[in-house]
């Protein structure tokens, strides 16, 4: 069994790495929603996590959405394949590809903040890059890594620093309009053998084309300007923090889209 615990994870296998990521992602989403004023600040409770003060939404539906969305991401990181997905408030949707038994085909998880209707244009993307997570056969989820795991206190300490950075990030970002919405999006690594069927019975949906990176199957398919959606990358990128503790290697940054400045 994985030896992961909420505040002092022992990163001795892949399952523990994914569990630690899920735990941090949950806190980070609550923090971003609070700091970016997606909901009234009075609707958040003061709490503690990773031995630091954090904010948590008190609204049951918001908490349930975050819990379900993060659980869906965790399940896919522990399954055979996951492809680009979109999660909408109160409606988790996913596209799952087939074949293979390597884990962590996931390269990014991002929280996308959209402008209010009718445009609903992406204004900010908070990216959590998991591209450096281990990739191994599904039969080795609980197999101990070679070598000694990092000290148990190392990862929570880095999580504290990252949450602290998120809590002060609003001063570096231009304000958002009122009544914004948000989605959670995952992206695949560029493996040519991953085919994402859009089966009607899957609980996931493909993200909008302007938020998808077009993945070529071979070099002959490559065309200038066709490798990324027009809203990927943004016009301004602000680094947040790199987290590295044993097999847990994650980069974080935020992109501000052109619609934010045009508006």
Inter-CA distances, 46 with 31, 49, 159, 171, 225, Å: 11, 10, 17, 21, 45
Q: What's the token pair of residue 158? A: 């880095």
pTM: 0.80
* Least reliable range by pLDDT among 17-26, 79-88, 101-110, 204-213: 79-88
- Does residue 33 carry a pLDDT above 50? yes
- 258 dihedral zone (left: phi>0; alpha: psi -120 to 50; beta): alpha
Tell the burial category of 241 from Cβ atoms under 10 Å away from its Cβ (0-12, 13-18, 19+). Answer: middle
pLDDT of residue 107: 82
pLDDT in tens, 38-64: 999 999 999 999 989 999 999 999 999
- Does residue 99 carry a pLDDT above 60? no
Phi/psi for 132 (5° steps) reads -90, 5
Residue 235 CB neighbours (<10 A)? 12
Cα-Cα-Cα-Cα dihedral sign, residues 100, 102, 108, 113? positive
* Least reliable range by pLDDT among 34-48, 82-96, 177-191: 82-96
Burial 200-221 (b: 16+ CB within 10 A, else e): eebebbbbbeebbbebeeeeee
Cα 94 to chain centroid distance, Å, stands at: 14
Average pLDDT over residues 19-48: 96
**Percent of the residues in the chain that have a pLDDT greater than 70, as a whole number:** 69
Residue 147 pairs in a beta bridge with none
Highest mean pLDDT among 3-7, 147-151, 181-185: 181-185
The DSSP call for residue 232 is: S
pLDDT in tens, 190-201: 664 544 434 455
The DSSP call for residue 137 is: B
Q: What is the CA radius of gyration of the chain?
A: 18
């Amino acid at each position: 069994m994985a030896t992961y615990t909420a505040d002092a994870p022992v990163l001795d296998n892949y399952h523990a790495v994914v569990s630690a990521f899920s735990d941090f992602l949950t806190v980070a989403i609550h923090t971003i929603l609070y700091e970016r004023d997606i909901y009234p600040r009075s609707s958040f409770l003061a709490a503690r996590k990773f031995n630091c003060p954090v904010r948590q939404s008190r609204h049951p539906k918001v908490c349930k959405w975050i819990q379900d969305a993060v659980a869906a991401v965790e399940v896919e990181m522990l399954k055979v394949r996951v492809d680009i997905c979109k999660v909408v408030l109160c409606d988790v949707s996913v596209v799952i590809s087939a074949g293979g038994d390597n884990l962590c085909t996931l390269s990014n998880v991002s929280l996308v903040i959209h402008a209010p209707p009718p445009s609903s244009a992406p204004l900010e993307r908070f990216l959590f890059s998991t591209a450096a997570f281990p990739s191994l056969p599904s039969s080795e989820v609980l197999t101990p890594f070679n070598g000694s795991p990092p000290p148990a206190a190392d990862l929570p300490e880095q999580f504290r620093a990252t949450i602290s950075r998120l809590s002060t990030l609003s001063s570096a970002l231009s304000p958002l309009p009122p009544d914004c919405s948000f989605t959670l999006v995952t992206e695949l690594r560029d493996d040519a053998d991953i085919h994402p069927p859009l089966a009607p019975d899957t609980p996931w949906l493909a993200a909008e084309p302007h938020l998808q990176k077009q993945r070529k199957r071979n070099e002959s398919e490559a065309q200038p300007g066709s490798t990324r959606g027009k809203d990927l990358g943004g016009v301004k990128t602000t680094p947040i923090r790199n987290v590295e503790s044993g097999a847990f290697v994650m980069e974080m940054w935020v992109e501000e889209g052109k619609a934010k400045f045009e508006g």
